[in-house]
Structure 1
Amino acid sequence: MIELKTPAEVDRMHVAGRFVAEVLTEVGRLADVGVNLMDLEHHVRGMIKRRGAESCYWDYAPSFGKGPFRNVICLSVNDAVLHGLPHDYVLRDGDVLTADLAVSVDGWTADSARTVIVGTPAEEDLRIIRATEEALEAAIEAARPGNRLGDISAAIWAVAREYGYPVNTEFGGHGIGRTMHEDLHVPNKGKAGRGMQLKPGLTLALEPWFARTTDRIVFDPDGWTIRSADGSRTAHSEHTVAVTEDAPRVLTRREAELGNS
C-alpha cells in the first residue's frame, strides 16, 4: 500500500534526513588512505547511538543476502556499488568508496548514499560520480505532482545515455517513510509518461547508480555486496525526496549541497 505523508510527517522524515546527511558528511571527511572500513562502521555506530536513532540495516534480512545484515552502513569499494558489507579492508590511494545509510528517528526513516574518491582522483572516476549526481538531480526535478513514475526513471536514463553508461534495472529507488522500503520500485531506466501519477505526500528514495561498462551485476560470497559483473568501477548517489504541491523537497541534502536545493 502506498501511504501519502502529511506535511507534518514529511517534517519528521526531514529530521531523520538531516541526521543521515550529517553522518554521510562525516564519513566522507574520514575516508582517507590507510583508514579501515571497520573503523568507519564503528564510528557510524557511535553516531547513531549518541543520536538515539535506529539503524535500518541492522538485522535487515531480505530475500537476498546471507543471514541478517549486522552492520549499520553499507560501504562499497571500487567495482562494488550496493550493499557493501563492511569488512577488514584498508582504503588505498585512488579507491572509490560508496557509503549508503538509512536510519529511523522517532519512527520515521531517511535513506541516502554518496560516492567519494580516497586520495588521488582519476578523471574517469570523477566522471561516473558526476553522472550519478546529475542523474539524481534530474530525477528530483521530475518528482513533481502530475508527473508519472516513468518520468523519474526516464530522467535518470537520459543522463546515463548522455554519459554512455549502461543501466541496470534490478535495483533502483523505492518508497520510504515509516520503514526503509515501502511500496513502489523506481527503476533507473524507463519511459516518460508511464506508471503511477505522482501526488503530494509521496516520499521516495531516488538512487541512480552506474557501472562504467556493464549493466550486469554479481554478488560476493558474503551474499550482500553487489559488484559490476566485469569489474569496472561504479558510483551511486541517493536522496530521500518528498513530492509536494510546490517544488520537490529533498530531505537528505548535505550542507555542502544546500546551494543546489
Structure 2
Amino acid sequence: MVQIKTPEQIAKMREAGLVVAAIHAATREAAVPGATTRDLDQVARKVLAEHNAKPNFLGYGGFPATICTSVNEVVVHGIPSDDVVLKDGDVISVDCGAIVDGWHGDAAYTAFVGSGHSPELVELSRVTEESMWAGIAAMKQGNRLVDISRAIETYIRRQPKPGGGRYGIIEDYGGHGIGTEMHMDPHLLNYVDRRRGKGPKLVPGLCLAIEPMVSLGTPKTEVLEDDWTVITTDGTWSSHWEHSVALTEQGPLVLTAPDGGRAKLAEYGITAAPDPLG
C-alpha cells in the first residue's frame, strides 16, 4: 500500500522536515577534527528537544542512536561512538530524522571534515547530491517511480570520474516512501532494474525519501558484526545525500530543505510548490 497524504498532513511533514534541516545545520557545524560521532549525536538530540520533536532512528529495529554517522568507507547506518574521532580529511555522511505529531521527516548529507580533501572526493559528493536533485526534478505528475530511478542513474553515469572508471551506485539500499512511518512503500532504486517494472504512478499526496548512495568503486556492500554498519566491500569511500519530498497539485515540495527546494528546482525550470507553513 502506498500512502497518499492530504495537504494538512503534508504540512505536518513539512514541520518534521524543518526539524531535520535544523539538525543538519547543527551537526554540520559540529563535524570538526577532534569531535566524536557521539558528539554529533548529542547535538542532534539537543535540536530535537528544542523543537519538541522525537527521533525516528532511535530504537528503530533496535538502532541505538539518534542519527547515523557514516565515515569514509561506511556507506550508511554508522553508529555514533566515542571511539570514532573525526580527523582532518575525513568524509562523513549524516542521516537523521524527526517525528512531529506522528509524521516523519528523513534526510542525509555528506560533509568534509577539516580541509585538504582531494578533488576526487569533492566531485563524488557533488555527483551524488546533484543526482538526488535530478531524481527530485523527475517527481512529476504522470511520471512513474522508475522515472526517478532513471534520472538518478542517468545523471551519475554521465559524469566523468576523475582517474577513470565508473562510480558505484549502491545496489542494496535506496529510497522509500515516508509518512506515518519512516520507511514505507514504495522502495525506490537508484538505478533502473527492468525486472521490477515501472512502479506506481506519481500522484499528488505521494511522499518519497530520495537518497542516492555512491562510491568511488564498487556498488557492493557488506554489513559489519554490529548488524548495522554498512561498508563498501572494496573499502572505497562513499557519499550519501537524501531529501524527503512531497508531490502536490502545485508541484514538488522538498520537505527537508529550508527553502522547500525552490532554488535547486529552478535550475531544472521547475517551480517548487508553495510552502504550507508560509
User: Shorter-normalised TM-score: what interval?
Assistant: over 0.9
Mapped contact 1:25–1:254 kept (Cα < 8 A): no
1:228 and 2:232 matched = yes
* Structure 1 residue matching 2:96: 3-state secondary structure: strand
Q: 1:185 to 1:2 in 2, by over 3 A?
A: same
Aligned equivalents of 1:185, 1:258: Cα separation in 2: 25
Residue aligning to 2:20: 20
- Post-superposition shift, 1:18? 0.6
Q: 1:69 to 1:83 in 2, by over 3 A?
A: same
1:102 and 2:106 matched = no
Mapped contact 2:171–2:220 kept (Cα < 8 A): no
Q: 1:32 to 1:258 in 2, by over 3 A?
A: farther
Mapped contact 2:253–2:260 kept (Cα < 8 A): no
Structure 1: stretches of 5+ with no match in the other structure: 62-67
Aligned equivalents of 2:175, 2:199: Cα separation in 1: 14
TM-score by length of 1: 0.93
Superposition pairs of residues 73-88 of structure 1, within 5 angstroms = 73-87=67-81, 88=83
Moved more, 72-81 or 247-256: 247-256
Superposition pairs of residues 1-261 of structure 1, within 5 angstroms = 1-61=1-61, 68-87=62-81, 88-120=83-115, 121-163=117-159, 164-190=166-192, 194-254=198-258, 259-261=263-265
Q: 1:157 to 1:204 in 2, by over 3 A?
A: same
Moved more, 219-228 or 110-119: 219-228
1:25 counterpart letter in structure 2: A
Residue aligning to 2:275: none
Aligned equivalents of 2:141, 2:232: Cα separation in 1: 34
Aligned residue pair count: 255
Aligned equivalents of 1:232, 1:254: Cα separation in 2: 31
1:79 counterpart letter in structure 2: E
Aligned equivalents of 1:257, 1:202: Cα separation in 2: 16
1:153 counterpart letter in structure 2: S
Mapped contact 1:167–1:210 kept (Cα < 8 A): yes
Q: Deviations over 1:228-249 (max 9, x none)?
A: 1100010000000011223211
1:124 counterpart letter in structure 2: E
- Post-superposition shift, 1:180? 0.3
Q: Deviations over 1:119-148 (max 9, x none)?
A: 112211111100111101100000011000
Aligned equivalents of 1:166, 1:78: Cα separation in 2: 15
Aligned-pair Cα RMSD in Å: 1.6
1:49 counterpart letter in structure 2: A
Q: 1:41 to 1:249 in 2, by over 3 A?
A: same
- Post-superposition shift, 1:222? 1.2
Moved more, 147-156 or 115-124: 115-124
- Post-superposition shift, 1:2? 1.1
TM-score by length of 2: 0.88
Q: 1:32 to 1:69 in 2, by over 3 A?
A: same
Structure 2: stretches of 5+ with no match in the other structure: 160-165, 266-278
* Structure 1 residue matching 2:250: 3-state secondary structure: coil
* Structure 2 residue matching 1:54: 3-state secondary structure: coil
What is the percent sequence identity of the aligned residues? 39
Mapped contact 1:154–1:191 kept (Cα < 8 A): no
